[in-house]
Amino acid sequence: MEFFTKKYCLQCKKELSKVRKYFCTRKCRDIYRANRKYIVKTCSYCKKEFQTYRYLTDKGFMKFCSHKCQLDSHKNGKILKCKQCEKEFYTSGSGIKRGREFCSNRCSADSRKVIKIKLKCDGCEKSIFRTLKQMKRQKTHYCSYKCYKKTVAAILYPRICRNCRKKFFIQKYANEHCGGVFCSKKCRIANIKPNNSELALFNLVNEIAPGEYKLNVNGGLKINNKIPDIVNVNGQKKVIELFGEHVHPKEDEQKRKELFKEYGYDTLVVWSIEIYSKKKLRQKLIEFHNKDYMLVNSL
């Protein structure tokens, strides 16, 4: 079904057919054009009076006195003040939503220019430049990280040792006092605790030979700057080492045995995987513990 809005002739006011737009016949058109006159209308935007043709107003045109008034009528924005040059400018509704603050791209670029202030380095007194944000954020200013490190290293900070609870002083970027936690290497070594694997191995050794072995994690015995994990305290030169597969390669086992053999120590190396199979490990520890007794009996 077709919909058709009814139209009427501008001259005789008869209903028009679908083909015709404004007049029913040529005669009506000629009469209308011959009788057309100027009409005074008021602009719908600026409210000024202006003259226009009658037939144009009948068609629904000429609502505005000029093209400028027609464009201004569609404006839905506001007049704002530029933050950079402080001139008034017009922005549309979409510009207000986007948060427009500047009248042009040039003003926007000028606002992003960083103003730098000339200062002197607090360490070496060289001339340096800093922005206003850096001035607010930082109290001291240095030309480089090296200069900063030198000036700060001269200041000593008090610390308390975690092991012996003595007071000592340390530089901010010095590592000679074990990172500011312990006063000396002795205190750091004395504070070392055995891990779970070492405790599990020592408990198994203590079941086989109670009171004959001791944990040596804190460095009670050193052999060529190496600290064995478990040491015999019953007069025998025997040590037990626990190696982790992710730390030690397989070659380290023979090297460690040869190193300790130079100082007269018999060494047993236990790998961390062997702790899970306790039966095999127990037999290995018993054989290592009874090694000297078997030699004595054979002699």
Q: Do 186 and 217 sit in the same domain of this protein?
A: no
Q: Are strands 213-215 and 230-232 parallel, antiparallel or unpaired?
A: antiparallel
Q: Do 294 and 227 sit in the same domain of this protein?
A: yes
Q: Do 162 and 242 sit in the same domain of this protein?
A: no
Q: Do 163 and 102 sit in the same domain of this protein?
A: no
What mean pLDDT, rounded, does the chain reach? 82
Of the candidates 129, 151, 173, which is a domain's last residue?
A: 151
- Residues 271-293: what's their mean pLDDT? 85
Q: Are 14 and 8 in contact (CB under 8 A)?
A: yes
Q: Which string of DSSP letters, residue by residue, matches the chain? A: -------B-TTT-PBP-SS-SS-SSHHHHHHHHHT--EEEEE-TTT--EEEEEHHHHHTT---SSSHHHHHHHT---EEEE-TTT--EEEE-HHHHHHT---SSHHHHHHHTPPPEEEEE-TTT--EEEEEHHHHHH-SS--SSHHHHHHHHHTSEEEEE-TTT--EEEEETT--TTGGGT-SSHHHHHHT----HHHHHHHHHHHHHSTTSEEE-TT-SS-BTTB--SEEE-SS--EEEEEE-TTTS-THHHHHHHHHHHTTT-EEEEEEGGGGG-HHHHHHHHHHHHTHHHHHHHH-
Q: Do 163 and 225 sit in the same domain of this protein?
A: no
Q: Do 175 and 204 sit in the same domain of this protein?
A: no
Q: Do 184 and 212 sit in the same domain of this protein?
A: no
19, part of any domain = no
CATH of the domain at 277: 3.40.960.10
- pLDDT score of 119: 87
Q: Do 241 and 212 sit in the same domain of this protein?
A: yes
Q: Do 201 and 293 sit in the same domain of this protein?
A: yes
- Look at residue 294 and tell me whether its pLDDT is greater than 50: no
- Look at residue 299 and tell me whether its pLDDT is greater than 50: no
pLDDT in tens, 150-175: 787 677 778 888 888 888 887 765 55
Q: Rounded to an integer, what distance in angstroms lies between the CA atom of residue 236 and that of residue 259?
A: 17
Q: Rounded to an integer, what distance in angstroms lies between the CA atom of residue 75 and that of residue 246?
A: 74
Q: Would you place residue 269 in the very low, low, confident or very high pLDDT band (cuts 50, 70, 90)?
A: very high
Q: Do 265 and 233 sit in the same domain of this protein?
A: yes
16, part of any domain = no
Q: Which residue pairs, CB below 8 angstroms and at least 24 apart, start in 151-157?
A: 151/122, 151/123
pTM of the model: 0.43
253, part of any domain = yes
Place of tokens 């005789």: 12
- pLDDT score of 270: 92
Residues 6+ apart with CB under 8 A from 296: none
Q: Would you place residue 31 in the very low, low, confident or very high pLDDT band (cuts 50, 70, 90)?
A: confident
- pLDDT score of 2: 45
The candidate with the shortest Cα–Cα distance to 246, out of 225, 271, 277, 267, is 271
202, part of any domain = yes
Q: Could you list the residue range(s) of the whole structural domain that residue 270 is in?
A: 196-298
- pLDDT score of 172: 64
Terminal-to-terminal C-alpha distance of the chain: 124
Q: Rounded to an integer, what distance in angstroms lies between the CA atom of residue 297 and that of residue 299?
A: 5
User: Tokens representing 289?
Assistant: 């513990």
217, part of any domain = yes
CA 183 to the chain's CA centroid: 36
- pLDDT score of 173: 58
Q: Give the side-chain half-sphere CA count within 13 A for 58.
A: 17
**Count of structural domains, the chain:** 5
8, part of any domain = no
- Look at residue 34 and tell me whether its pLDDT is greater than 80: no
Q: Rounded to an integer, what distance in angstroms lies between the CA atom of residue 101 and that of residue 195?
A: 64
5, part of any domain = no
- pLDDT score of 164: 86
Q: Do 35 and 52 sit in the same domain of this protein?
A: yes
Q: Do 104 and 170 sit in the same domain of this protein?
A: no
- pLDDT score of 13: 84
Q: Rounded to an integer, what distance in angstroms lies between the CA atom of residue 79 and that of residue 258?
A: 90
Of the candidates 95, 130, 151, which is a domain's last residue?
A: 151
Q: Are 41 and 30 in contact (CB under 8 A)?
A: no
Q: Rounded to an integer, what distance in angstroms lies between the CA atom of residue 289 and that of residue 200?
A: 17
- Residues 82-106: what's their mean pLDDT? 86
Of the candidates 190, 207, 242, which is a domain's last residue?
A: 190
263, part of any domain = yes
The candidate with the shortest Cα–Cα distance to 159, out of 134, 141, 147, 177, is 177
